[in-house]
Amino acid sequence: MAVGSARTRPAAQRSASLHDIRPVAYVIGILAVVLGASMLLPAALDAFDEDGNARAFLLSAFLTVAAGLAMTLATAQRRTRGLSRQQAFLLTVAVWAVLPLFGAIPFMLGEPRADLTDAYFEAMSGLTTTGSTVFEDLNDLPRGTLIWRAMMQWFGGVGIVVFAMVFLPILKIGGMQFFQSEAFDLRADILPNAVDAAMELGWLYLGITLACILAYAASGMGAFDAAAHAMTTVSTGGLGTYDHSFSEFSPAAQYSAVIFMILAALPFIYLIRFAQGRPLLLLRDPQTQAFLGIIAFVTTVLALSLILRFGRDIEPAFRAALFNVTSVLTGTGYATEDYWLWGGFAGAFFFLIMMIGGCAGSTSCSAKVFRYQMLGKAIWVQLRRIHSPNGVFPLRYDHRPVDSAVLSSVMGFFFVFVAAIAVFAVLLSMIGLDPITAISGAVTALCNVGPGLGTQIGPDGNFGGLPESAKWVLTFAMLFGRLEFLSVLVLLTPSFWAR
C-alpha cells in the first residue's frame, strides 16, 4: 500500500499541475498592470488639453493596476519557468478575453460614456486589431480616448505577432507547426523562450512604427494623427481618429499607409532576417510572392473597372484601388471611400480578399496566404494521383516536404473556418440582420478586417446601430477568429481537461 501510494503521488501532482491556472493568472496580472500603467499616457494627453476626461483614465488606471497586482501577488508563489501545453492554450485565450474588460473601463467611465456592451465590443475590436467600431462622432471625442483606441490596437498587434510566431507552431494550430524551424526553436519551456523571441520581434515592431510616424508626418499629418495612425497601421488594426477614416489625408499619406500596411502583413521573421542583411529570404518566400501578386492583380482589375466604368482619371483610380485593396486584404480596415458603391463586381472581390489575409507570422489576419497555397498544392497533388494512380507525388511547400500532420491541420482549419462563417452568419440572421450585413459581418469579425459590406456596416457605416445581441455575437467572433479558431475550440473539449 505504501509503495502504491508513493507511485501514485507524482501522477496526482502532475495532474494538479496541468489543471493549475495560477501561472496563467500570474501572467495575465502582469499584463493588466502594464495595460493599466499605459492608461496614464491618454490621461496626460487629456490633462494637457484641459479635458475632464483625464480623471476617467486616472481612475481606470488605478482599478486596472490594482486588479493586476492582486492577481500577480495572489499567484506569485505558483509562477513557473515555463508553461505546460495546456496552460499555454488557456493563456492565449484568456489574455484576449480578459484584457479587453480592463481596456473597456475608460470608455465607460469617460467619453463616450458607453455601456458594457459597446465598451467591451470596442476594446475587443482594438486588442484583436479588428477595427470595427460602435463609436460615432469621432471628431468630437477627447484625444485621450482616440489615442487609447490606437494604443490598444498597437498592443494587440505586437501580441498577435508573438502569439503567431511563438505559440502557434508549438500548439500545432492550423499548420503553423510547418514554420517552427523558420521562427524560433522552442521546446520544453514555452514562456522563457517566448520572452526572448518577443524581445527581438518587439524591437522590429517598434522600429517600423517609428518609421511610419515619420512617413506620416512628412506627408502632412499632424503629430497626433501621425502617431495614432502609425499605431493602427503597423498593427493592421484600422481604428482612426476621424469618422471618414483615411479620406481626410493627402495622397502622399495614403501611399505611405499602403507601404506600411504591406510591411506589417509580411512575415516578421523574414523582416528580421532582412534587417540582418539577408534580404533574399524575404524575396524568395512563396508567401510573400503570392501576397504581393494578389495585391497587384486585384488592384489592376479594380482600377481598370473604375477607369472604364466610372470614367475616373488613372492616378486617382489606381490609388483608390491600391489603398482599399491593401487595407482589406491585410485586415487593416481603413477606407478612403465607400467601395460598396463601386458595384457588385468590386464588392465580390472585397468579400473574397477578406477571407485571404496576409502572411503567417505578421500582424495581419484571416486565413493567411500560406494555407491557401497548401490547399491548392494538396488539390493539385490529388488530381495528379487520380490521373496517374501508380505515380508518387509528394506534397512540397517552399522546396520542403509537408508532413501529413501539417496538411491535416490546414484542412481542419479550413473546415472550422467555413463552418464558423456559416454559424455566425445564421446567428446574425436570426437576430434580424439582412443577408449582406449578416454574412459580411460574420466574415469581417472572424477575419478581423473591420468594415463589412452594405450600407449599415460597410466602409462608410458603423456597428453602433446593431442590436445588442448582434454586438455580443460579433465580439465573440472577433476573439474566435483572432485566436485562429482551434485554440478556442480545444478548450471546449472534455479531453483537454482530462488527466
CA 338 to chain centre: 23
Beta-sheet strands, E only, within 287-441 = 396-397, 400-401
| Residue 137: strand, helix, or coil | coil
Q: What is the pLDDT of residue 310?
A: 92
pLDDT tens-digit series, residues 343-360: 989 999 999 999 999 998
Q: What is the pLDDT of residue 190?
A: 45
Q: How many CB atoms lie within 10 A of CB 318?
A: 18
Q: What is the pLDDT of residue 119?
A: 97
Residue 144 has phi, psi (to 5 degrees) of -60, -45
Cα–Cα distance, 236 to 363 (Å, whole number)? 6
| Residue 396: strand, helix, or coil | strand
Q: What is the pLDDT of residue 193?
A: 57
Beta-sheet strands, E only, within 361-404 = 396-397, 400-401
Task: Let me know: does 323 contact 238? Beta carbons within 8 Å.
Answer: no
Give me the percent of the chain exceeding a pLDDT of 70: 87
Average confidence score pLDDT of the chain: 86
As given in the structure block, the three cell numbers for residue 313 are 482619371
Helical H runs in 39-142? 40-48, 54-75, 85-103, 105-109, 116-127
As given in the structure block, the three cell numbers for residue 158 are 505586437
CB-based burial, 392-417: b 16+ in 10 Å, e otherwise: eeebebeeeebeeebbebbbbbbebb
Q: How many CB atoms lie within 10 A of CB 66?
A: 13
Task: Let me know: does 415 contact 408? Beta carbons within 8 Å.
Answer: no
Query: CB-based contacts of 105: which residues, under 8 Å, 6+ apart?
Result: 60, 63, 64, 119
Cα–Cα distance, 330 to 269 (Å, whole number)? 17
Report which secondary-structure segment, H or E, holds 26: helix 22-38
Q: What is the pLDDT of residue 42?
A: 97
As given in the structure block, the three cell numbers for residue 278 are 539577408
Q: Measure Cα distances from 426 to 125, 420, 465 in Å.
A: 21, 10, 19
| DSSP state, residue 403 | P
Q: Within the chain, which residues score under 50 in pLDDT?
A: 1-17, 175, 178-191
